[in-house]
Amino acid sequence: MSEYVLSVLLEVNGQNIEDFKEVSEGEHEVAKQINLMNTTGFGKTTPRHTVEVSYVVPADKPEFNFESVQNGTLTIDKKNGVRTTYTGVSTLKIGATKYDGENEAVRTITLGATGKVG
C-alpha cells in the first residue's frame, strides 16, 4: 500500500514555505553494536533525523534563503490522515539546481531535525 503526501510545510521565523515537489524521510540509527569481552551488546543511540526536500525555485518571486533555517518546524501531511512533524529543523546541505527545460527549476535541500512526532 503506497502513501501519498498531500502537503509539505516548513515554518521558520513566522514564514511558511510550501514550494516543495518531493519529500524523502531519511533513515536513523536506533541502536549501535558494542563489542564486549565475550559477547556483543547493543546500546541505544540518539536519533538524528534527516529529511530531503525538492524545492521548486519560484519564477516570479525571490527564492527562499535556506541558509537561514534554524529551529524550524517541518510538517508532512499524508493522504491517509497521518501527520509527521519534525522540530528543531536546520538546513544541513543545499544541493545543485536541476533544470528540466520545460517546467521548473528544482533544488534539493537536506534538512536535519532534533525531534520527530508522528
At 26 the three-state DSSP class reads coil
What is the pLDDT, as a whole number, of residue 3? 60
Query: Closest by alpha carbon to 50, among 108, 92, 6, 8?
Result: 92
pLDDT at position 54 is 92
Q: Quick one: CA dihedral 65, 69, 72, 74, positive or negative? A: positive
pTM: 0.81
Q: For residues 95 and 11, what is the distance between their CA atoms, to the nearest angstrom?
A: 20
C-alpha 57/C-alpha 64 separation (Å) is: 8
Tell me which residue has cell 525538492: 54
Residues 6 or more apart in contact with residue 69 via CB below 8 angstroms? 10, 12, 89, 90, 91, 111
Kindly list the averaged pLDDT for each block of 10 residues, start to end, along the chain of length 118.
Answer: 70 86 86 87 88 90 90 88 91 90 87 91
What pLDDT, on a 0 to 100 scale, did the predictor assign at position 50?
93
